[in-house]
Structures are given as structure tokens and as C-alpha cells.
Amino acid sequence: MELRISNKFLRVNDRIRAARVMLIDEDGTSQGVQSLFLALQKAREAGLDLVEISPNNVPPVAKIMDFGRFKYEQEKKDKDNRAHSKQFEDKEIRLSAKIGDHDLEVKANKAKELSDKGHKINVALRLRGRENIFADRAIDVIKKFADMAGMDLVETPRKLGNQIRVNLIKRKNTGSQDAEVKDPQINS
């Protein structure tokens, strides 16, 4: 029986192809290189399975174990790993060229909240009818949105059909001391 566990195909008992294997018993101690027949016999005497752990070694490493229990524990570990791993997604915020200030502020707060959770933020601004002529005003709306959310544009906004799209990233925190150093005319 060949089973795929954590991206490995494990051969069990009679499915093992090698003539000789490096045998590890159920206690984890190495028994040395033995013939496959002798290793299978020891596994059957113990009432357990012979599982090929490392098929790429020469000779392959095989361990005497309860394969059903091993499979159960692997599935349990995989389930725990999936439960504890965070899935970050791209989140899209849709705007319009005529959006009101309060609506823009609400969407900016939501974008900031999503960004703090680790999601990537994509902004899509849809232009309708004559709004296509005034694409520069729409870009100003996107820049205002980014400022409200405390984020920066990754690249310049690009127009795709009747939409303007841009990705946003968290703004780096800069202290007030950095601003004083950058502009020496203010200090003098």
C-alpha cells in the first residue's frame, strides 16, 4: 500500500522494493542493514508494519511501526498546521469618482484595518460616462484615499478600460525628527 503523507509516498510492507534495508525497530534503535525478508518477518512478529521512511538512501531506511496510528497522527498534525496558519488575501476596495468625503473615510478605515491584519489592498475606481475624460480627478481621489488610510501607492495608478487600479502598502512610520532633517530651510 502506497500512501502520500506530507508530500511523501510511503511504501508499506510488501510494497517495499529494495532487497536490503536499514532497519529501525519500534523503539527507534537501529538494527543495521538487513534483508527485506528478515525485516518483514520481524515486523510481523511484533504485530506491526514495516514502513519505508527514506527511500532515497542506499540502502533505504525502513522502520517498524503501527502504520495506521502513524497515518492518524500525521493527519492530526496537518490539520493543526492548517488551522494555525493564516491565509492572507488580496482585498479590493471599490471607489467611484464622485464618492463623498465620509464614504471615503469609512472605506479608508476599512482598508487600514485590513492592512493591519496583513492583507494586500487593491483599489479599483470605476469611471462612468463622462468621468472617463477626467481620469486625473479620479487619480486625485485615489491619492486622497491612500492618505486617509495612511498608505502609499505601490506604483502609479493604471487605467484599464473604464477602471483605474492601484495597489497600496502600509506607510512606513517616519518620526518628526526625520522631517526636520530632510528640510533644512525650516530649521534656519
The domain total for the chain is 2
Is 40 in the same domain as 113? no
Is 15 in the same domain as 41? yes
pLDDT at 175: 52
pLDDT at 4: 46
Is 97 in the same domain as 153? yes
Is 75 in the same domain as 107? no
Is 58 in the same domain as 99? no
Query: d(Cα 175, Cα 177) in Å, to the nearest integer?
Result: 5
Predicted confidence (pLDDT) per residue in 44-77, tens digit: 888 888 888 888 888 888 888 888 888 888 888 8
Last residue of a domain, one of 30, 49, 83: 83
pTM: 0.49
Q: Which domain holds residue 124?
A: 90-172
